[in-house]
Amino acid sequence: MDREKKRRVAYEVIILMALLALMLFMNSLWPILLLVIVGIFICALRLLFFSVASIRVIEPLPQLPAPPVAETEHTIIGKAFGLLQQQITAKVAEVYPLARWIWGNARPLDDFAAGEGLIILLNNAGGYGKANVLTRNLIFIGLTYIGADTNLPQPETEMADEDSEEEPIGAPHVNYGQLAFEWVESCLLEINNRCNEAIAQGKVILLIEAYELPNPDSWLDICQELKHNGISSADIGADGIILTLPQQEKGS
- Between CA 242 and CA 226 the distance in angstroms is 11
* 252 DSSP 8-state letter: -
In the chain, how many H helices and how many E strands? 7, 7
**Of residues 231, 210, 230, the one with CA closest to residue 219:** 210
Find residue 100's DSSP bridge partners: 123
Q: Phi/psi zone of residue 167: left (φ > 0), alpha (ψ -120 to 50 degrees), beta? A: beta
Position 252 scores a pLDDT of 39
Q: In what order do the strands lie in the sheet with 234-237?
A: 205-209, 240-244, 234-237
Distance separating alpha carbons of residues 179 and 169, to the nearest angstrom: 23
For the chain, the farthest-separated pair of C-alpha atoms sits apart, in whole angstroms, at 134
* DSSP conformational letter for 155: P
Q: Give 232's DSSP letter.
A: S
- Give me the pLDDT at residue 23, please: 79
Res 159: pLDDT: 39
pLDDT at 248: 62
Q: What is the pLDDT of residue 87?
A: 92
pTM greater than 0.75 (yes/no) = no
Contacts with 43 (C-beta within 8 Å, 6 or more apart), sequence order: 10, 13, 14, 17
Q: What pLDDT does residue 49 have?
A: 67
Helix/strand/coil percentages in the chain, nearest 5: 50, 15, 35
Each of the 252 residues of the chain gets a pLDDT tens digit; together they read: 566 676 677 777 778 778 777 877 787 777 777 777 877 777 777 666 655 555 566 777 777 776 776 778 888 888 888 899 899 999 998 888 888 888 888 888 888 988 888 988 888 887 778 889 999 888 898 888 886 444 445 555 433 343 434 444 334 445 677 778 888 888 888 888 888 888 888 888 889 888 888 878 888 889 988 888 888 888 998 889 999 888 765 543
- CA dihedral for 222, 84, 74, 187, sign (positive or negative): positive
Nearest 10 degrees: CA dihedral of 90, 93, 99, 105? -30
